[in-house]
Structure 1
Amino acid sequence: MKNAFVIVTLSGLLSACAVAPTPHAPALAGSAADAQADAPAPAATAEPLPPAAEVLAEGERASAPDEPSPDLKLPHVALTKEMLYKLMKAELEFRGGTWQGPYMTLMALAQQTRDPRLAQRAAEMAQAAQKGSEALAAIRLWRELAPESDEAGQYYIAASVMADDLGEAGELFAARLRDAAPANRGMAMYQIQQLLTRAKDKAAAGALLERLLAPYIAMSEARVVLAQSAYARGASDEALAHAQEALRIKPDSEIAVLTLAQVSGEQGDVGSLLAKFLAANPGAREVRAALARILVTQKQYEPARKEFLALLKEQPDNPGTLYALGILSMQLSDPAAAETYLAGFITALDKNPGDERDPAKVLIMLSQLAEDRGDLAAARAWLGKIEPEDAPAWFSAQLRSAQLMGKQGDLDGARAFLGALKAEEPAQQVQVVLVQSQVLRDAGKIDEAYAVMEQGAARFPSNPDLLYDFALLAEKLGRVDVMEKNLRMVMEQAPDNHHAYNALGYSLAERNVRLDEALALIDKALKMAPSDPFIMDSMGWVQYRLGNLNEAEAHLRRAYALRNDPEIAVHLGEVLWHKGQKSDAQQLWREARAKDPKNDTLKSTLARLQLKL
């Protein structure tokens, strides 16, 4: 199981300090905002040191530093023309990709003027260039010039840890814990733990953490941090002991129970642990989200949906919960509910334009759900919401929209739509050809579809996907020579394409010709994809044609067990019929008819055997 909470990252810590250091509550993983993710997530590895408060931000502002903090003591130095020129030149050069010259300029000016903001900017430049020693030198100067600056202290601690200078960092950490208000001390522990993850000497960092927290071992937060540290280095028993003690100290702590869940191991026990905690603390949202995700991983979809519904009741517009419920409803074959929740997800994103989640995948799912219930106009409307900025998804949506237009009966409109679609890349042009052909096939214009594919194959003779589809269409029209030629071209261009071997082998078996060659082709395909039920079906069919009824039955039964497909049922039924198991054969054919009343294979089989169901 993954980590139970997300500790404040280094970048978050320093960004906060760049404004004003204020205490924050630790953020728990598994929030409903990301309810579809696995729960709980591991402690985040800290990001590289980010720029602090911008002094001369990206050249977009004037070159003078920001308004200083009221508590920051600044020297009285006039901004001369020469100094202004040097500052602007340094910023422009830095924006152009050079760091060393601007860094040295800022360091020299900081030493000359004793202005800590210039040392801070030099530190930011070195950090952006990933120059650790230069960054530490600038931060030392910054701290020397502004010893009262908590922000400079934060940067210095972080840089010291990354440079494995744990001695002085340890003293600063100890002072921070000692001076913190009791209500804020737990948060300070999480911050220190996160900072120490950046140390190269993990053993030394772990030992320092234990020494720092020893005076506060009676705090639940200290036990949580020690549990996390022990778990990270593989000391499972120690981690478990600390986590259990953390929960004993504070029985209603979500972070403690989630940490215990993380280090406990077996998911079944974890589910029971979280369920018991929820019974005593029904408002523990993060724990409920974690339990819901565990139930999903255990494929207990209905209980998982119940937990997500409880989360949704508290926050009806939470996108993550709506998404999770939509996916679960699809798993539970409840398309109406899936459509409701996924539509709610889109509405929630519309209300929060700052949300960075990509709606394209959900819009495609909503389109498919609408199509499945016969509302083609709604299906196209959902696709129309995909933004052109999401180029791959948008292009796929245009292709699908054209197909839906054709299904609505507007064949001319669909063809015109595809003709106007700008496909710049060869792969996109191939997709357009395939969809043009499919639209014509859906409209029953097979000959026109063939002509489109024939032209496409001439334009793109090295595209295996197009050649494969062209081969299958050629077979439908009885042009087996064209089919075989194109399938062999696919085999030559993509020797690992098992579909091509299977298609040619099955075609030979279906026509009852060159059966030994058919067997060899299908056997090769089956070795490439031994779990593919359709290749198993082909193997069963060629064995039937060879007169090996028992082998045929064995392959077809395996295929039907994996894929309850009407065509496999028809083939298995014919084998059983010829083995004298006529009642079983008819039952299979009835099942096939119930699933696909217009199935051509079933019709041709019954006609050939002169049977009626």
Structure 2
Amino acid sequence: MLCGMLAACSGMPRDNSGEAHEPWLPLAEGHLLPLEIDDNGVADLFYELLVGEIAGHMGQLQVSVAHYLRAAQRTRNPEVAERATRIALFSGDPEAALPGAERWLALEPDNQEARQVLAALLVNAGRPEDAAPHLLQVLEYLEAMEGEGLGPLVNMLARSQQGDAAVTALTLVAQARENDPQAYLAVARLALRQDLPLTAVAAAEQALVLDDHLLEAHVLRARGLVQAGDQAAALQAMDQLVARYPDDVDLRVTYARMLLQADHYDDARRQFEQAVQSRPGDADLLYTLGLLNIEVAQYEDAQRYLERVLQTGRRIPEARYYLGRIAEATGQPEQAIRFYEQVSRGEHRHESRLRAALLMGEMGQVTHAREELSALRQRLDDPIERVRVYLAEASLLRNIRDYWAGMDLLDQGLREYPDNLELLYARALMAERLERIDQVEADLTLILDQDPDNPAALNALGYILTDRTDRHEEAYGYIRRAYAQRPNDAAIIDSMGWVLYRLGRLEEAEIYLRRAYDLMEDGEIASNLAALLWDMGAQQEALDILHRALEREPDHERLHRLRERLVP
């Protein structure tokens, strides 16, 4: 951490070449002579230097630091103190680096790198009052040399793990420049980065006392309020600010993004729309509006904005991908495929190929879809992404009820990635469709061997044992463990109701099954609730639930089997 701080703050070169020193380089020949010796003799000095060098090359950095620090006290040559400091930092010992940096600066008081290093070390040691004078001098030097110093100073201090000390030190610098609102603005920035939101609010307010027209201070104050948990006050402040500066598009966009973070989608959309009126060709604004309209299911508006993105010539792959998503969501699979196939680069290119292939499969082009998925899998290097394609293809085969092909595919995947939990789970579900209960139990047991509390595996194993075997007490144990972890999961609640039904505990089962059905009107849950109600004598309600479920899912196998049993 400290090495990172020092690297961040050293805008000044470390030697005449402008290159930073390597962690361990021997002193160049001649650098040790002549040395100005204090009063302990040349022999002692050379002993410390020699042992320090040898220890360093042998990897005994603590020994090297100790000898170099002693050498630094025996000579007025600043290079020795600098070397002691750097070795201490490289060895991860900031406490040892601190006396080295103090000696370095004492011997070379005009060396601004030495001053930066010492300031960072003092902050790291929790001594902000001692660090502040050095930071102030560093700031003045940077401003003289580069015209701006507060930004580099904030970047340096933001790396400190002593956040309170870093902010306190910069606050002392700001107080020394009491009429500079930019200094308090820097404190606010640093405080937000160090997760001290109330301090950021106070610093931003102090900057506004000095200059009420400082827009960044208003924004930082609002962000501090959000970070502190007072979202309403932050949004109110930003709303007033936008009303005060209605022509500032960047300010309006900042407000819109805050509204998005607060899930105020309609208000955010209105702000973005006003911003687009001022910048009609801004691809980023148009793209954001497109995504925002997708989020609220306003697909026509989303499509209009994304088509305008294409006209700008920017963000084309992203716009085409989301136009594909819109076409898919609105029931236009062929158009969706066309958009997806045009996404040849960017972060969505693999996802586009995957979605296009799955849509082909749904349209009956199964062979072509599988060829596309296989080709995509071969192009991918990431095991996680390759497994994802296996799972997508398996889902396609399961949906078209080609369970044997699905088993073959998942067997292939598991040969490539043995014991992968997702592939095992998918194969267990596929095996259940083939009524290979031994395979189901073996795969789910393998998952539970690796992850004993896996709620999905516990629930699946419990449900299948309930539904396909007479091992209902054992099944109840698995489902109860899953329910303890996810008491609000509709599928697990349904399993609990179903196993209680099979155990003959009908009144308890009804409570769980009705609750599951209220949470999710799924065909599987509907069939279980209908079967229970029929056996409890509520035949008409059972038939009503069954018929409504078939209207929603006319191809659901389990619902059809139940109807055939209840209404021969």
TM-score (norm 2): 0.68
Contact 1:166 1:205 in 2 (8 A): no
- Alignment-derived partner of residue 295 in structure 2: 331
- Give the letter aligned to residue 492 of structure 2: I
- Give the letter aligned to residue 8 of structure 2: P
In the alignment, the residues of structure 2 paired with residue 211 and residue 455 of structure 1 have an alpha-carbon distance, to the nearest angstrom, of: 65
- Alignment-derived partner of residue 58 in structure 2: none
Alignment of 1:376-387 (within 5 A): 376=334, 378-379=336-337, 381-382=339-340, 385=343, 387=345
Of the three residues 82, 98, 119, the one matched with 1:161 is 119
- Alignment-derived partner of residue 213 in structure 2: 252
Runs (5+) with no aligned partner, structure 1: 1-10, 12-43, 57-64, 67-90, 112-118, 354-358
In the alignment, the residues of structure 1 paired with residue 341 and residue 14 of structure 2 have an alpha-carbon distance, to the nearest angstrom, of: 42
- Alignment-derived partner of residue 528 in structure 2: 571
Deviation at 1:320, TM superposition (A): 5.2
Alignment of 1:29-108 (within 5 A): 48-49=8-9, 100-101=25-26, 104=28
Higher RCO (CA 8 Å, separation ≥ 6 residues) = 1
Q: 1:246 to 1:601 in 2, by over 3 A?
A: same
In the alignment, the residues of structure 2 paired with residue 497 and residue 387 of structure 1 have an alpha-carbon distance, to the nearest angstrom, of: 37
Q: 1:403 to 1:108 in 2, by over 3 A?
A: farther
Q: Is residue 172 from structure 1 mapped to residue 132 from structure 2 by the alignment?
A: no
Deviation at 1:536, TM superposition (A): 1.0
In the alignment, the residues of structure 2 paired with residue 320 and residue 598 of structure 1 have an alpha-carbon distance, to the nearest angstrom, of: 43
In the alignment, the residues of structure 1 paired with residue 558 and residue 327 of structure 2 have an alpha-carbon distance, to the nearest angstrom, of: 29
- Give the letter aligned to residue 244 of structure 2: A
Identity of matched residues, % = 27
Alignment of 1:454-603 (within 5 A): 462-511=419-468, 513-576=470-533, 578-579=535-536, 585=542, 588-589=545-546, 591-603=548-560
Q: Is residue 288 from structure 1 mapped to residue 252 from structure 2 by the alignment?
A: yes
In the alignment, the residues of structure 2 paired with residue 195 and residue 588 of structure 1 have an alpha-carbon distance, to the nearest angstrom, of: 65
In the alignment, the residues of structure 2 paired with residue 352 and residue 567 of structure 1 have an alpha-carbon distance, to the nearest angstrom, of: 43
In the alignment, the residues of structure 2 paired with residue 238 and residue 528 of structure 1 have an alpha-carbon distance, to the nearest angstrom, of: 39
Of the three residues 301, 310, 317, the one matched with 2:274 is 310
Deviation at 1:513, TM superposition (A): 2.9
- Give the letter aligned to residue 553 of structure 2: D
Q: 1:244 to 1:449 in 2, by over 3 A?
A: closer
In the alignment, the residues of structure 1 paired with residue 501 and residue 381 of structure 2 have an alpha-carbon distance, to the nearest angstrom, of: 48
In the alignment, the residues of structure 2 paired with residue 482 and residue 202 of structure 1 have an alpha-carbon distance, to the nearest angstrom, of: 55
- Once the two structures are overlaid, the 10-residue window that deviates more, 450-459 or 522-531, is 450-459
Q: Is residue 413 from structure 1 mapped to residue 374 from structure 2 by the alignment?
A: no
Q: 1:319 to 1:487 in 2, by over 3 A?
A: same
Q: Is residue 374 from structure 1 mapped to residue 332 from structure 2 by the alignment?
A: yes
In the alignment, the residues of structure 2 paired with residue 191 and residue 426 of structure 1 have an alpha-carbon distance, to the nearest angstrom, of: 41
Q: 1:200 to 1:241 in 2, by over 3 A?
A: closer
Contact 2:459 2:478 in 1 (8 A): yes
Q: 1:257 to 1:105 in 2, by over 3 A?
A: farther
Deviation at 1:284, TM superposition (A): 3.9
Alignment of 1:183-202 (within 5 A): 192=153
Contact 1:415 1:436 in 2 (8 A): yes
Deviations 1:194-227 (A, max 9, x none): 5555679877766664554446535543544455
- Give the letter aligned to residue 601 of structure 1: R
Q: 1:546 to 1:246 in 2, by over 3 A?
A: same
Of the three residues 254, 260, 267, the one matched with 2:231 is 267
- Once the two structures are overlaid, the 10-residue window that deviates more, 533-542 or 477-486, is 477-486
Deviations 1:54-107 (A, max 9, x none): 999xxxxxxxx79xxxxxxxxxxxxxxxxxxxxxxxx9xx99x77514x74798
- What secondary structure is seen at the aligned counterpart in 1 of 2:246? coil
Alignment of 1:341-352 (within 5 A): 341=305, 351=314
In the alignment, the residues of structure 2 paired with residue 536 and residue 555 of structure 1 have an alpha-carbon distance, to the nearest angstrom, of: 6
Alignment of 1:92-241 (within 5 A): 100-101=25-26, 104=28, 155=113, 158-164=116-122, 166=131, 169=134, 172=137, 192=153, 209-210=170-171, 212-214=173-175, 216-225=177-186, 240=201
Q: 1:203 to 1:293 in 2, by over 3 A?
A: closer
Contact 1:161 1:198 in 2 (8 A): no
Deviation at 1:237, TM superposition (A): 7.3
- Alignment-derived partner of residue 278 in structure 1: 242
Contact 2:143 2:149 in 1 (8 A): no
In the alignment, the residues of structure 2 paired with residue 204 and residue 525 of structure 1 have an alpha-carbon distance, to the nearest angstrom, of: 47
In the alignment, the residues of structure 1 paired with residue 222 and residue 191 of structure 2 have an alpha-carbon distance, to the nearest angstrom, of: 14
- What secondary structure is seen at the aligned counterpart in 2 of 1:251? coil
- Give the letter aligned to residue 465 of structure 1: E
In the alignment, the residues of structure 2 paired with residue 209 and residue 455 of structure 1 have an alpha-carbon distance, to the nearest angstrom, of: 60
Contact 2:483 2:493 in 1 (8 A): yes
Deviations 1:585-606 (A, max 9, x none): 5664465345433333333333
Alignment of 1:389-428 (within 5 A): 398-418=353-373, 420=375, 421-422=377-378
TM-score (norm 1): 0.63
- Give the letter aligned to residue 250 of structure 1: D
In the alignment, the residues of structure 1 paired with residue 433 and residue 195 of structure 2 have an alpha-carbon distance, to the nearest angstrom, of: 60
Contact 1:252 1:281 in 2 (8 A): no
Contact 2:340 2:355 in 1 (8 A): no
- Give the letter aligned to residue 351 of structure 1: R
Deviation at 1:334, TM superposition (A): 2.6
Q: 1:578 to 1:220 in 2, by over 3 A?
A: farther
Contact 1:363 1:383 in 2 (8 A): no
Q: 1:157 to 1:600 in 2, by over 3 A?
A: same
Q: 1:345 to 1:603 in 2, by over 3 A?
A: farther
- What secondary structure is seen at the aligned counterpart in 1 of 2:8? coil
Deviation at 1:608, TM superposition (A): 2.3
Deviation at 1:432, TM superposition (A): 5.8
Contact 2:336 2:356 in 1 (8 A): no
In the alignment, the residues of structure 2 paired with residue 347 and residue 599 of structure 1 have an alpha-carbon distance, to the nearest angstrom, of: 44
Contact 2:343 2:349 in 1 (8 A): no
Runs (5+) with no aligned partner, structure 2: 36-78, 123-129
In the alignment, the residues of structure 2 paired with residue 52 and residue 190 of structure 1 have an alpha-carbon distance, to the nearest angstrom, of: 15
Deviations 1:152-192 (A, max 9, x none): 86x565345224474763563585699899xx8xx655655
- Give the letter aligned to residue 217 of structure 2: A
In the alignment, the residues of structure 1 paired with residue 233 and residue 90 of structure 2 have an alpha-carbon distance, to the nearest angstrom, of: 44
- Give the letter aligned to residue 172 of structure 1: Q
